[in-house]
């Protein structure tokens, strides 16, 4: 990678600071330049040390991690990796942090901190390196509920049209922006976002509180309806199948595909088979290549396909891999994808 990634660790636990620092220092491409017990100390260390990446705890004295992150993203945007618990409050805070501009997160072990972190060492090191290469966009505050989208109402009232969306790193904010651009009567959408069990339920509820469409975690056998968005549950693959004249969700816990469960490839391949030219495939920001092959199958089946452009991706990995395979017809800034989806729904003939 050339120069080492310079990391500042911010956590109120001395043990956590020591374990994280030792773990990251073991990688030859990472240098831990400092460790701060709270945001007040961290603020000065950021000025003095100019780190490439900050790892940030959520719950700390003097100022909580979310408030500190908000200040960072407003005054000095930089890559931040959140370290948070999987409690309900921790999940809510993490989702808020990702909306504010944090690149990614790592869940704290619930028991046996030392052993638990050792098991996450490869994940933490990989995410720090990804964060160092990420594009960070200025965020001054968490989003309010979306106003009515600035697009004409579409009048969709059938289930022939279906939109399949895949995302990973940076996808929390990208999905929020895309879905908040969709009117309440949009065609049905199914989404796979790389996210562990315990996060997707709260993620779906949070999106539902912000968007005009109805957003929910997908359930096995659930009928897919217009104006609704179905999020793949953490640790379950989501597929779309035909159920008579309708579409339905199917969940399975088969082995990970492209290194992930849920996998975007699994979703896209099922949509290619069940909806063919009646579908629209969208691949958003994310590390790796999950979804590229599946999107290529969707395009070969006649579906319209869109990739998020490099300039607005936090990590231009998945869209880049899809473009390299010829899977995407076009790439667009995230703020233009909702309108493009609706345009393609109006322009293309629906096959029954």
Residues marked as catalytic? 168, 194, 290
> How far is the CA of 165 from the CAs of 33, 128, 193, 197, in angstroms?
39, 26, 8, 19
Distance CA 132, CA 61 (A): 27
Query: CA 90 to CA 57: how far, in whole Å?
Result: 10
Q: What share of the chain is helix, strand, coil (3-state, %, to 5)?
A: 40, 20, 40
State both tokens at 182. Answer: 């969709």
Q: Is the bond preceding residue 262 a cis peptide, omega within 30 degrees?
A: yes
Packing angle between helix 171-179 and helix 200-210, nearest 10 degrees? Answer: 30
Q: What are phi and psi of 169, to 5 degrees?
A: -60, 125
* Helices marked H in 180-317: 200-210, 264-275, 292-300
Structure tokens at 315: 């990590």
Sheet with strand 80-84: strands edge to edge:
30-36, 5-10, 53-57, 80-84, 104-107
Planar angle of CA 220, 317, 161, nearest 5 degrees: 40
Q: Residue 267: helix, strand or coil by DSSP?
A: helix
How far, CA to CA in Å, does 56 sit from each of 66, 79, 88, 273?
Answer: 9, 10, 18, 43
């Amino acid at each position: 990678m050339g120069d080492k990634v310079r990391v500042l660790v911010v956590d109120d636990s001395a043990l956590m600071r020591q374990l994280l620092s030792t773990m990251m220092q073991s990688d030859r491409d990472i240098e831990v330049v400092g460790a701060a017990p709270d945001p007040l100390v961290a603020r000065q260390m950021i000025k003095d040390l100019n780190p490439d990446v900050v790892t940030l705890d959520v719950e700390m004295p003097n100022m909580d991690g979310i408030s500190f992150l908000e200040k960072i993203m407003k005054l000095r945007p930089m890559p931040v990796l959140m370290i948070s618990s999987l409690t309900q409050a921790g999940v809510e805070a993490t989702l808020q942090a990702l909306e504010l501009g944090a690149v990614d997160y790592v869940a704290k072990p619930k028991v046996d901190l030392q052993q638990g972190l050792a098991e996450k060492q490869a994940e933490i090191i990989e995410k720090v390196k990804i964060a160092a290469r990420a594009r960070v966009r200025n965020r001054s505050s968490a989003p309010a509920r979306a106003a009515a989208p600035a697009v004409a109402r579409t009048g969709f009232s059938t289930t022939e049209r279906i939109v399949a969306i895949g995302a990973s790193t940076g996808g929390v904010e990208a999905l929020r922006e895309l879905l908040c651009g969709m009117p309440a009567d949009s065609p049905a959408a199914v989404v796979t976002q790389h996210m562990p069990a315990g996060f997707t339920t709260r993620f779906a509820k949070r999106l539902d509180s912000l968007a005009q469409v109805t957003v929910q975690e997908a359930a096995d056998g659930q009928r897919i309806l217009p104006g609704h968005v179905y999020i793949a549950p953490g640790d379950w693959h989501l597929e779309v199948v035909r159920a008579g004249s309708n579409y339905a969700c199917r969940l399975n816990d088969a082995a990970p595909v492209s290194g992930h469960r849920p996998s975007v490839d699994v979703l896209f391949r099922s949509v290619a088979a069940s909806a063919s030219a009646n579908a629209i495939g969208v691949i958003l920001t994310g590390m790796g290549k999950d979804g590229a092959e599946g999107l290529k199958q969707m395009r070969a089946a006649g579906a319209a396909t869109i990739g998020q452009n490099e300039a607005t991706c936090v990590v231009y990995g998945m869209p880049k891999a899809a473009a390299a395979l010829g899977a995407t017809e076009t790439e667009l800034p995230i703020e233009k994808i909702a309108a493009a989806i609706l345009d393609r729904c109006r322009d293309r003939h629906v096959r029954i």
